[in-house]
Chains A and B, each alone.
Chain A
Amino acid sequence: MKATNEQTVLERAKQALNDEFLRNAVKLTTEKLKNGRLSAAKQLGNWEEWRERARQIRQHTIAHLDYYLNQFADQARKQGVHVHFAKDGKEAVEIAIRIAISKQAQTVVKSKSMVSEEIHMNEALEQNGIESVETDLGEYIIQLAGEMPSHIIIPAIHKNRKQIAELLSRDANETLAPDTAVLAGYVRKKLREKFLAADIGMTGCNFAIAETGSIVLFENEGNARMVSTLPKTQITLMGMERIVPTWDDLEVMATMLPRSATGQRLTVYMSGITGPRRPDDGDGPEEMHVIILDNGRSLQLGDPEFQELLHCIRCGACLNACPVYRHIGGHSYGSTYSGPIGAVLKPALNKNVLEWDDVANASSLCGACYEACPVKIPLHDMLVYLRRRKNEAGAGLCSEKWMMKGFKVVMAKPHRLRAVLKAGRLGQMPLVRDGAISAHLGPLKGWTAYRRFPALAKPSFRERWPHLQAELKEKARRASVKEHVQLRLKQIREKRTKKTGGNRDE
């Protein structure tokens, strides 16, 4: 399925829900990754303390982002790196193209970078007649398919082995067996030629270390190391929030990122790159550029409801934990970033409230994302804030607005609620069969397509209360164990009263 941006999230989700292949593929892999994370966390021990430490490091860094970005840029320049700041995707792409043209580059090999996807770097390179080759296996597959990644860590998570074999067979002009070793073998052979021929290596950046101006890459396939050692010129794309202050801080991140992403204790390769090749280095690029991208990130700074978004370390754990993502896959979200983090990032990065789609509604607010997040970003709260901001801007659904006005009127006064329940009981009479409603009517339509709706009870609890009260009085009088319980209640209340200053009951 190829997603188009004109559709709503719900419309795209409906397509995905009818795609059994996609749902099974996503379910299988997210579950494997989720279980991997859980067992890695257990094996490490003290997971909650690690999470809290990681959160503190991110919080401190983002709170002082200007300082650490300057430090990083200064240190990187001292090492001979060309540091560029780009305010948006367009500027970042222009900088990269300028470098490529000045090098008369014909081929760029790339390791995995979500920022590159975010700013559509591949299209820009191709438009300028420069071949762009993704060298991460998953990215290579979706580049062939002409799609966006549908997962932050596993870009081709929505494809099964058979679909991948078909894609690669077309690329190879021969039939390849749907066997992992065969398929990976084909791509490896093909990419070797590209690595050797490429003029520019383009990487993402998992973390940038402010104290030494270094960039750090986590990967499993060794392709990022090839990309960052073979071509003469290296361009690294990084989001401006990727910074950590020191290598000591990286230790905590290196503990959290692979475990949260794939359940690995460490990825197969972890590269720390400080500047271009020195005279006595064995390999590395002769020239190195780092493009630091804002693209809406700085809009979060100072926003108490969204600054924590910048804490994200792009591990994808929230996607793997999310039951909505599992059913609808990444493309339904209609943006580079999918899942719970994508549902918040997509609107928040562009504070163009009036153009926001329904992505923030695509969550049951179950909180599984927050629970899985290694840096404790409260995504479930942020989704509610997004909904509120949309309504405040007058961009909410009209029908919902009137329903909520009604809610306010009714719920503000108990006698109105009582009257509405009474009226509702009369109104529902023609619809109720066996204590439930299954008619597909009005606002109930969405509900009754999948479920019966229970009828309003008669009497309601508040109507029944006067009778119940007499029964309870008698029961309580006859109770035999009351002293012990009463004593506990008294103690707990006293403890509480002391804590809050004791002014409540005076």
Chain B
Amino acid sequence: MKVSIMITCLADAIYPKVGEAMARILARYGIEADFPQLQTCCGQPAFNSGYWDEARASALTMLEAFQESDFVVTPSGSCAGMIHHYYLKLFESDEARYRQAEELIDKTYEFSRFLVHVMGVTDVGAHFPHKVTYHPSCHGSRLLGVKDEPLKLLEHVRGLELIPLPYAEDCCGFGGTFSVKMSDISGAMVSEKVDHVLETKAEVLVGIDLGCLMNIAGHLRHRGQSLRVMHLAELLDEGMGVTA
């Protein structure tokens, strides 16, 4: 069974440790994931800005990279959402590519969903004795419907105290190029999000999307706050390391 990692451009370039953590968790369950080198980016930055030809060029690498895979796992609800929701539209005028896109959609899973729904795991046996709050990313939860999976995984972590994030469902203001083009609006949104995060008095903010986490962490640091920001895979991996 060929399980492949879709690393996403952000994790590849900036947060490789998230990809490593995800791969290690899979390996602990006997899944030796592979990493098809052809992949680059799902194309979302160009797609959302309305540059679809450019997005297609990037998306093509995904169609080709994962042709042989049985499952594709990615540490991003947003990138998985891009594939699930927009690839058919992106390739609607090319029959062969459209079919490839359908296949890719069928086998592509956001990390927590893969763990819970495919592997059937909700308790990874991790130990993480900290106060944690969870930010549900918009694309993961609204486009992809990943809502309960991360919470289920967190609930089973020993010692972890999960503190509900007020206004959790509000967007953090990232929105890809929105954060640069409309930076004042985006800045107001992330500032409000960080207020809510700090209100929880949690030691760790966890999420399933690196775009949002980069945005929130970036503003936390900008305000001189040192609160730890982690991807769910990092938290679980670290917690599993403690018990192993």
For the complex, is A44 an interface residue (Cβ under 8 Å from B)?
A: no
A485 touches B107 (CB 8 A): no
Alpha-carbon gap, A324 to B174, bound state (A): 12
Alpha-carbon gap, A417 to B61, bound state (A): 12
Alpha-carbon gap, A410 to B46, bound state (A): 12
Cβ contact of B218, chosen from A411, A447, A460, A488, cutoff 8 A: A447
Cβ contact of A461, chosen from B12, B143, B187, B192, cutoff 8 A: B12
**Which of these binds chain A: B113-121, B126-134, B153-161, B199-207?**
B113-121
For the complex, is A475 an interface residue (Cβ under 8 Å from B)?
A: yes
B118 touches A489 (CB 8 A): yes
For the complex, is A443 an interface residue (Cβ under 8 Å from B)?
A: yes
Alpha-carbon gap, A194 to B33, bound state (A): 76
- A490 to chain B: which residues have CB within 8 Å? 1
Cβ contact of B142, chosen from A366, A386, A443, cutoff 8 A: A366
Alpha-carbon gap, A403 to B116, bound state (A): 38
- B218 to chain A: which residues have CB within 8 Å? 436, 447, 450-454
**Contacts A443-B180, A488-B119 given: A404-B13 contact, CB under 8 Å?**
no
Cβ contact of A408, chosen from B57, B171, B191, cutoff 8 A: B57
Nearest-neighbour CB distance to chain A for B1, whole angstroms, equals: 5
For the complex, is A42 an interface residue (Cβ under 8 Å from B)?
A: no
Chain B 12-26 interface mask (CB, 8 Å, partner A; 1/0): 111111011001101
For the complex, is B185 an interface residue (Cβ under 8 Å from A)?
A: yes
Cβ contact of B30, chosen from A368, A389, A479, cutoff 8 A: A479
A456 touches B29 (CB 8 A): no
- A479 to chain B: which residues have CB within 8 Å? 27-30
B27 touches A412 (CB 8 A): no
Alpha-carbon gap, A459 to B113, bound state (A): 28
Secondary structure of the B side of the interface?
helix
- Output the nearest chain A residue to B27 by Cβ-Cβ distance: A475
- Output the nearest chain A residue to B11 by Cβ-Cβ distance: A461
For the complex, is B168 an interface residue (Cβ under 8 Å from A)?
A: no
B9 touches A488 (CB 8 A): no
**Contacts A456-B13, A468-B20 given: A368-B138 contact, CB under 8 Å?**
yes
A473 touches B32 (CB 8 A): yes
Nearest-neighbour CB distance to chain A for B193, whole angstroms, equals: 9
Cβ contact of B54, chosen from A362, A371, A407, cutoff 8 A: A407
A462 touches B7 (CB 8 A): yes
The size bracket of the interface on A is 35 or more
A368 touches B171 (CB 8 A): yes
- Output the nearest chain B residue to A435 by Cβ-Cβ distance: B221
For the complex, is A17 an interface residue (Cβ under 8 Å from B)?
A: yes
- A17 to chain B: which residues have CB within 8 Å? 184-185, 188
For the complex, is A128 an interface residue (Cβ under 8 Å from B)?
A: no
A365 touches B120 (CB 8 A): no
Nearest-neighbour CB distance to chain B for A136, whole angstroms, equals: 30
A362 touches B182 (CB 8 A): yes
Cβ contact of A482, chosen from B16, B29, B41, B53, cutoff 8 A: B29
Nearest-neighbour CB distance to chain B for A139, whole angstroms, equals: 28
For the complex, is A65 an interface residue (Cβ under 8 Å from B)?
A: no
Cβ contact of B40, chosen from A358, A414, A483, cutoff 8 A: A414
Nearest-neighbour CB distance to chain A for B112, whole angstroms, equals: 15
- Output the nearest chain B residue to A385 by Cβ-Cβ distance: B50
A417 touches B40 (CB 8 A): yes
Alpha-carbon gap, A485 to B118, bound state (A): 8
For the complex, is A105 an interface residue (Cβ under 8 Å from B)?
A: no
A472 touches B29 (CB 8 A): no
Closest 10 CB pairs of A and B: A482-B30, A364-B175, A451-B218, A387-B50, A446-B183, A450-B187, A366-B171, A411-B58, A388-B50, A475-B27
Residues of A within 8 A of B (CB): 10, 13-14, 17, 323-324, 327-328, 358, 361-368, 370-371, 384-392, 396, 400-401, 404-405, 407-408, 410-414, 417, 421, 424, 436, 438, 443-447, 449-457, 459-462, 464-465, 468-469, 471-473, 475-476, 479, 481-486, 488-490, 492-493, 496, 499-500, 504
12 contacts between A and B (CB under 8 A): A364-B171, A364-B174, A364-B189, A370-B142, A408-B51, A411-B57, A453-B218, A454-B15, A456-B14, A462-B35, A469-B35, A472-B23
